[in-house]
């Protein structure tokens, strides 16, 4: 009798376990089904995205949504996914410059949009203004030139060539002679007084700040830049009283945000290069 009772208890336990497992599967399936509104092969249209579209339509309509409206929205979302999948199958992302450009621009907007969520502290803005006072002094003007030593042209000796040119300038050699030793591919800078914003367009913010702090007739040490080394030679400098922070606070905030966006994008791209396996095979 004890053996028979034990067998019955075991059988009931197995049945009860199976029922619980079935209920769990049904519940999981129900939850899973609620998380998507449609599936196109391996692509899922999330339920929350679908509901968001319905909410937008409901705000535009004066009358309540009907079942026909709901199905209309779902079918349009399915059709959109089908067109995207077909575009991928046809290789449009690889071969269509317009499609690729649109995706790239949207990715850039997505990356830098994170910065809009943060309020910039006043002290950070003040520090940024003081560190870049020359940039915001719009009337200050500089006349300068650069000598560029490209890694591509000078290979492993670009730094050495730049140092040799720097020592020649220290020894009193004329700029016109020393500049001939640099890369012919260097960007030509107009030989005239230019505002700091214009100077920045030619040599970038870091070198612009470096040039602003030079005395007229002096030059910088070789500076490592993307692709090589540069020497900045300042011929002439026009000094004007800088503005107060409060008088141009909006401009300072806009420039600070722009540089934050530039840095965010650059950091993100550098991370992408680390996330993916990249093989480079440039022409010799």
Domain with residue 148: its CATH number is: 3.10.50.40
pTM higher than 0.75, yes or no?
A: no
Sign of CA dihedral 212, 218, 221, 223: positive
Co-location of 217 and 255 in the same domain: no
Predicted confidence at residue 8, as pLDDT, reads 43
Per residue of the chain (284 residues), what is the pLDDT tens digit?
A: 444 444 444 444 444 444 444 444 444 444 345 588 898 888 888 998 899 988 888 888 888 889 888 898 889 888 888 888 888 888 887 888 888 888 888 888 888 887 777 788 999 999 999 988 877 876 578 999 999 999 988 888 999 999 999 999 999 999 999 999 999 888 889 999 999 889 999 999 999 989 988 889 999 999 999 889 999 999 998 877 888 999 999 999 999 999 999 999 989 888 888 888 877 766 65
State whether 188 and 256 are in the same domain.
Answer: no
Residues 41, 85 within the same domain: yes
Buried b or exposed e, range 175-198, using 16+ CB within 10 angstroms: beebbeebbeebeebeeebbbbee
Which range marks the domain in which residue 151 is found?
A: 137-238
- Token pair for 152: 């591509």
pLDDT at position 20: 45
pLDDT computed for residue 19 by the predictor:
41
Residue 56: predicted pLDDT: 87
Cβ atoms of residues 84 and 217 within 8 Å: no
Q: Of the residues 89, 119, 153, which one is the last residue of a structural domain?
A: 89
In a domain, 281, yes or no: no
189 contacts 142 by C-beta, under 8 angstroms: no
Q: How many separate domains does the chain show?
A: 3
Does the residue 2 lie in any domain?
no
Query: Do 179 and 150 have their domain in common?
Result: yes
- 234 forms beta bridges with 144
- At residue 171, the pLDDT reads 92
How many Å apart are CA 158 and CA 228, to the nearest integer?
6
Q: Is residue 145 part of a domain?
A: yes
Distance between CA 27 and CA 47 in Å, rounded?
Answer: 17
Question: Is 233 in the same domain as 250?
Answer: no
> What pLDDT score was predicted for residue 21?
46
Same domain for 230 and 163:
yes
Instruction: Tell me whether residue 24 is in a domain.
Output: no
Write down the pLDDT at residue 90.
83
Return the H-helix or E-strand segment holding 63: none
Residues 147 and 65 in one domain: no
Residue whose C-alpha is closest to residue 229's, from 175, 150, 157, 170: 150
Whole-number pLDDT of residue 17: 47
Work out the angle between the directed axes of helices 47-60 and 67-89 (0-180°, nearest 10).
Answer: 130
Residue 109 is assigned to a structural domain of this protein: no
Q: Is residue 165 part of a domain?
A: yes
Q: How far apart are CA 156 and CA 161, in angstroms?
A: 10
What pLDDT shows up at residue 281?
67
Domain match, 251 and 215 both: no
Coil, strand or helix: which one is 235? strand
Cβ contacts of residue 202 below 8 Å, gap of 6+? 187, 189, 194
Asked whether residue 17 is assigned to any structural domain, the reply reads: no
**Two structure tokens written together for 137:** 């002094």
pLDDT for res 218? 94
């Amino acid at each position: 009798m004890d053996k028979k009772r034990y067998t019955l208890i075991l059988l009931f336990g197995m049945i009860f376990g199976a029922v619980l497992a079935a209920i769990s599967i049904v519940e999981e399936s129900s939850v899973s089904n609620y998380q998507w509104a449609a599936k196109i092969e391996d692509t899922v249209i999330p339920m929350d995205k679908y509901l968001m579209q319905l909410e937008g339509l409901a705000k535009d309509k004066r009358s309540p949504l009907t079942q026909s409206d709901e199905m209309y929205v779902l079918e349009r979302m399915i059709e959109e996914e089908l067109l995207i999948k077909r575009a991928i199958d046809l290789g449009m992302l690889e071969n269509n410059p317009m499609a690729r450009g649109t995706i790239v621009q949207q990715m850039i907007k997505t990356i830098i949009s994170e910065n809009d969520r943060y309020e910039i502290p006043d002290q950070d803005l003040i520090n940024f203004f003081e560190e870049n006072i020359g940039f915001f002094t719009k009337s200050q003007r500089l006349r300068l030139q650069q000598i560029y030593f490209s890694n591509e042209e000078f290979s492993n000796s670009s730094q050495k060539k730049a140092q040799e040119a720097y020592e020649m300038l220290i020894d009193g050699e004329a700029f016109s002679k020393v500049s001939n030793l640099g890369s012919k591919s260097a960007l030509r800078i107009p030989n005239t007084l230019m505002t700091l914003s214009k100077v920045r367009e030619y040599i970038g913010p870091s070198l612009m700040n470096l040039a602003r702090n030079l005395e007229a007739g002096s030059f910088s040490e070789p500076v490592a830049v993307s692709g090589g080394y540069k020497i900045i030679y300042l011929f002439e400098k026009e000094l004007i009283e800088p503005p107060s922070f409060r008088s141009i606070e909006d401009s300072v905030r806009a420039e600070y945000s722009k540089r934050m966006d530039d840095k965010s994008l650059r950091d993100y791209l550098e991370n992408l290069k680390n996330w993916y396996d990249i093989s480079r095979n440039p022409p010799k």
